[in-house]
């Protein structure tokens, strides 16, 4: 399969989407920006206490601890919902499924605990492999790269089932997926140099391309098959 063809089809799919991928990305970005701002102020609060700018009394430390704990869980919940919801939306864009809405971004609320469990399990497995060396960690990340797409498309599947299917799908394709991800590095650099504004285009472009790759691996998308035969 060609990286160029995957990307070209992603661009066409984004243009044909019933719900603008740019608006969906902006909505997600605003929420993530708010979460990042809260984390910034918490870090600043901690730094001020450490430097003695703010008195580190028992009440202040307790307030900081409670605020940090509450925000940790809020951040975990919202970031997980957005991660799965965004990939669910991009799967619909890639498949030309016009039955989409802005609500897709929050569709993971229905299976939130399972989604959090998948993220934690993938993180643990990747971390354990990373303890051996950097390369095994990267290989593990590639091995489990399809797990979120699998659950986003099939919320009824179990955590370990998604992990196992991702492992099976990526057998013999890890390097291919890794290179596909690397091919967006210049776009990511552009995003940084434009004060992240370019990510309004880069994020859906990248994710829809990866969704195309997921469908290609899965081999059950009529739209993708028809498009592939045309080349």
Distances (CA, A) of 115 to 55, 135, 167: 40, 26, 18
Query: What was the pLDDT predicted at 221?
Result: 44
222 has a pLDDT exceeding 80: no
Is the pTM value of this prediction over 0.75?
A: yes
Average pLDDT of span 30-45: 96
Query: What was the pLDDT predicted at 227?
Result: 35
The residue ranking higher by pLDDT, 26 or 136, is: 26
Query: What was the pLDDT predicted at 50?
Result: 87
Average pLDDT of span 43-62: 88
**Element (H or E) spanning 6, and its range?**
helix 3-16
Query: What was the pLDDT predicted at 54?
Result: 84
Burial of residue 112 (number of CB atoms within 10 Å: 0-12, 13-18, 19+):
middle
Query: What was the pLDDT predicted at 200?
Result: 96
Distances (CA, A) of 199 to 7, 9, 36, 213: 16, 19, 16, 20
CA gap 77, 69 in Å, rounded: 13
Give the distance, in angstroms, between the CA of residue 71 and the centroid of all CA atoms in the same chain.
20
Query: What was the pLDDT predicted at 20?
Result: 96
CA gap 23, 200 in Å, rounded: 8
**Element (H or E) spanning 150, and its range?**
helix 147-153
Mean per-residue pLDDT of the chain? 91
């Amino acid at each position: 399969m060609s990286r160029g063809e995957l990307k070209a089809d992603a661009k066409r799919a984004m243009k044909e989407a019933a719900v603008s991928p740019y608006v969906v990305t902006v909505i997600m970005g605003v929420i993530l920006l708010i979460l990042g701002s809260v984390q910034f102020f918490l870090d600043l609060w901690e730094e001020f206490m450490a430097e003695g700018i703010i008195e580190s009394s028992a009440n202040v430390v307790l307030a900081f601890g409670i605020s940090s704990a509450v925000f940790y869980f809020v951040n975990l919940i919202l970031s997980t919902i957005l991660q799965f919801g965004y990939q669910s939306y991009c799967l619909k864009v890639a498949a030309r499924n016009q039955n989409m809405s802005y609500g897709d971004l929050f569709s993971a609320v229905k299976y939130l605990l399972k989604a959090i469990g998948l993220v934690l399990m993938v993180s643990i497995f990747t971390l354990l492999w990373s303890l051996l060396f950097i390369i095994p960690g990267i290989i593990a990340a590639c091995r489990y790269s399809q797990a979120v797409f699998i659950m986003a498309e099939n919320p009824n599947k179990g955590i370990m089932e998604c992990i196992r299917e991702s492992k099976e799908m990526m057998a013999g394709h890890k390097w291919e997926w890794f290179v596909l991800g690397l091919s967006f590095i210049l776009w990511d650099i552009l995003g940084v140099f434009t004060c992240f504004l370019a990510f309004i285009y880069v994020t859906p472009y990248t994710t829809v391309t990866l969704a195309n790759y997921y469908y290609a691996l899965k081999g059950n998308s009529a739209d993708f098959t028809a498009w592939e035969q045309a080349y």
